[in-house]
Structure 1
């Protein structure tokens, strides 16, 4: 598999009344069209979105639907995620048809599971996150256990963050850039980093950071981190400059990923990379400073074992600062990518 891709801000539709269910469905169908889905597959996306949005309104009274196009191995898919702060639910009880906490026929999540290629969820007293991914029928599916939730600062028209991912048979390379500040100048800095990354995304991290520093010269610069997972050895190699935060998570604990001070493209010293052996099976997490850094995954039992799409949406729900561009990346390392 040789894949290089980057993403756009997540489409987020508030669900506070019945009219917004239709809005979420229309946004999801547009995403499906952009991903190359035919009418039948776009209909599956519409059905899943309707069911998830209806469940949010009925059981939590309000919430959000997050919609994004995702890259699979050989085809694009659509990810639809319901996010709420309702009473939560018992996962085992809610999947079988006929179970309902809202006086309905209880077919919603069962229908979502049947129509989706990948489905996962997390629920507790803080609310629930239900994620579904759909790929075109007939596609020899291989879901990439990677996810990104990105949102631009309120009242801005462009995002100053950017991210990219590249995969081949030997390694996985992930870039996260946070252009200094926000708005168009930050957006231009992030785009310069992405253009450089696409030229040689699998280059060794220190050399890649040097190229990024050159590529971002003349922009306002920004914070940058590169994470590379070496498939054969199970080592994660990480280099960062600026305030990109990261960690390796398991059920038992976490390990922080260090970045050095500086601004790539403006005043960055030569990067240094750090190796983290035995990273296979761990959850890699990287995020810009639009997300609060003071949170503890142990307060969310089992979260590192959930699909990355659930993890990024949940963290956005609970720890988004709301006053900057925000990007959260997550990948389960070495699990059939």
Structure 2
């Protein structure tokens, strides 16, 4: 199964009039992607509650929406993001509790409507994740998360990400086309198109094919990782950041200098053994590299979508396209 990269849809939540717009936007998105009236109603309810919670608790924040391709059909991902002071999570999960002092359904009801519910909250703020699938969709949740944003909300994004699943095997790609805008996106998409044709091919040959496809474009930085259920191969050119986060240590994954589609020396992949159960984090240089998950107690155990969103919220440079891709390396993906 291939999942092509798309931008995160961001809905600001700063006053009560935006709650209705968010609800309508999410419900229409669900209906356009195969949700029936009942399931689309669940999406509308969850968005309304999350947006209301942002206003009550934080006074301002955002909802991040994403379509999730599935083996048959699509799901909807909704994340509520804020920078408010910490709040009592267990109390908020109780029906009828409202941080705004008014009667509310509570996040407990949201968690029961959602197929996936997770949250991380500390003094920096909160990120709440919900994923909803049609009731007929019984496939397990794929434990990956991605957040992607273009500079100045440009409809063209020079960053591209792509994921491929084949049984227990996973292949993950991030490309950052030089600069930003339409020409950067054209360069990145040229590399992604070749990658999608054979995401589990020999890394050296696959990189060479991507290089040929991107020749004549601006070119860009690119990196991909191939996980076979136990070990991981990683190859990168340019400044795509990547880390493997294990239970007892973290390690950066090294890329070679150069430009895919421009010039680079022959790049050999790096091999990492026994990484089942690790987190793979890949990101473009729109994200600062000085983050450390150890500064966020317990975050490493949260859903990858929560991790990606927290990192984007706190370390986005704000002057370039930005992509953060987090994948749980586990054989249960099959």
TM-score (norm 1): 0.95
Unaligned 5+ segments in structure 2 are: none
Show the counterpart of 1:194. Answer: 192
Q: Please tell me whether the aligned partners of residues 73 and 143 of structure 1 are also in contact (alpha carbons under 8 angstroms).
A: no
Q: In 2, distance between residues paired with 1:16 and 1:59? A: 12
The alpha-carbon deviation at position 31 of structure 1 amounts to 2.4
Q: In 1, distance between residues paired with 2:226 and 2:173? A: 9
Q: In 2, distance between residues paired with 1:158 and 1:128? A: 29
- Residue aligned with 1:336, SS: helix
Show the counterpart of 1:292. Answer: 288
For the structure 1 residues 250 and 95, does the alpha-carbon distance in structure 2 shift closer, same or farther, using more than 3 Å as the test? farther
RMSD between superposed Cα atoms in Å:
1.4
Alignment of 1:244-259 (within 5 A): 244-259=240-255
Alignment of 1:1-337 (within 5 A): 3-154=1-152, 156-231=154-229, 234-337=230-333
The alpha-carbon deviation at position 170 of structure 1 amounts to 4.6
Q: In 2, distance between residues paired with 1:312 and 1:30? A: 25
The alpha-carbon deviation at position 240 of structure 1 amounts to 0.4
TM-score (norm 2): 0.96
The alpha-carbon deviation at position 155 of structure 1 amounts to 5.5
For the structure 1 residues 293 and 165, does the alpha-carbon distance in structure 2 shift closer, same or farther, using more than 3 Å as the test? same
Q: Please tell me whether the aligned partners of residues 111 and 117 of structure 2 are also in contact (alpha carbons under 8 angstroms).
A: yes
Q: In 2, distance between residues paired with 1:126 and 1:190? A: 33
Q: Give the total of aligned pairs.
A: 333
Q: Please tell me whether the aligned partners of residues 250 and 304 of structure 1 are also in contact (alpha carbons under 8 angstroms).
A: no
Q: In 2, distance between residues paired with 1:256 and 1:219? A: 29
Q: Please tell me whether the aligned partners of residues 117 and 133 of structure 1 are also in contact (alpha carbons under 8 angstroms).
A: yes
Q: In 2, distance between residues paired with 1:85 and 1:37? A: 32
Q: Please tell me whether the aligned partners of residues 52 and 108 of structure 1 are also in contact (alpha carbons under 8 angstroms).
A: no
Which range moves more in the overlay, 98-107 or 181-190?
A: 98-107
